[in-house]
Amino acid sequence: MKTQTKGNLLAAFSFLLWGILPLYYQYLPGADIYELLAYRLLFSVPVMLIILALLGRKLNWQAVLADKRSMIMALLASCIMCVSWCAFTIALTHGQVLAASLGFFINPLFAIALGVLFLKDILTHGQAIAVLLGLSGIVYQVVSYGELPVLALLMGSFFALYGLAKKFIRFDALTSVTIEAMWLAPLALAYLIYLFATGQSQSGSSWQNIALYIGAAPVTLAPLVFFAMAIMRTTLTNIGLMQYIEPSVQFLLAVLLFGEAFDEIKLVSFSLIWAGLLICTLEALPWYKRRKAMH
């Protein structure tokens, strides 16, 4: 199998795994978000070390500690990711999977905006139209419902900020994720000890519950590992085109399986965002680029 084909399959599989995450979180309705985050951070460290060992890799601590800027940016990335992950988890454990889907549909629009603001990227015509359509979709929801889609905006914006922070980290993908978890693991451990010592832990009600809380680490890291492997084998353009698998699967789960309300307001809002993403996608396709170059 060609390397790029293998990379495309790995990328598609990683986004599919992220897409079906709501199925796991249905077993944790109303979970304590901060306790769940603490478990994820703490157990991400051994999970990542096991993954590195299975791949025949190990951390080069001398190189890691020598790159102080990347270490600081990894801490910043970890803190940013916590906000996005908390919003994502609230959505999945409180019957708002559509909000999670919307968050990841609008994430590319935030990423485009951040690229223009901080990386001096130049907007293409398609990207400019996509941003305007996406903004129109959000504004329509706000005006119609009289409230901001807070969870979706937090997920979309902070995941885009996480991607921006990763641009300034010189570690490889797996090392970066491991260091990010290590930064906050001591704080997570201290918080869990405090919860158990004061009898405030929600996870401690049964061993099955504890297992589900611990499981939040590997189920969220598994797609990240496949994603990291995909990046080494295929192009960012191909990955960008496939990233809509995740929110599409979540959207279908929310509407068809979980029975979340999808009214006319959401239909108009999502349609505007989808139209913008379709324009961006078509513009990024190789045949469109070749045709544009010929004119």
pLDDT tens, position by position, 239-264: 766 788 899 999 999 999 999 999 99
Contacts of 69 (CB under 8 A, 6+ apart): 168, 170
pTM over 0.85: yes
What's the average model confidence in pLDDT over 166-191? 92
Provide the pLDDT for residue 237.
63
Provide the pLDDT for residue 292.
56
CB 201 within 8 A of CB 195: yes
What's the average model confidence in pLDDT over 87-94? 91
What's the average model confidence in pLDDT over 50-61? 88
pLDDT at 214 over 70: yes
Residues present in the chain in total: 295
pLDDT at 235 over 60: yes
Provide the pLDDT for residue 103.
92
Provide the pLDDT for residue 291.
57
Question: Given pLDDT bands bounded at 50, 70 and 90, which one contains residue 277?
Answer: confident
Instruction: Please give the share of the chain, as a percent, with pLDDT higher than 90.
Output: 54
CB 241 within 8 A of CB 73: no
Provide the pLDDT for residue 275.
92
| Cα–Cα nearest to 280, from 178, 142, 127 | 127
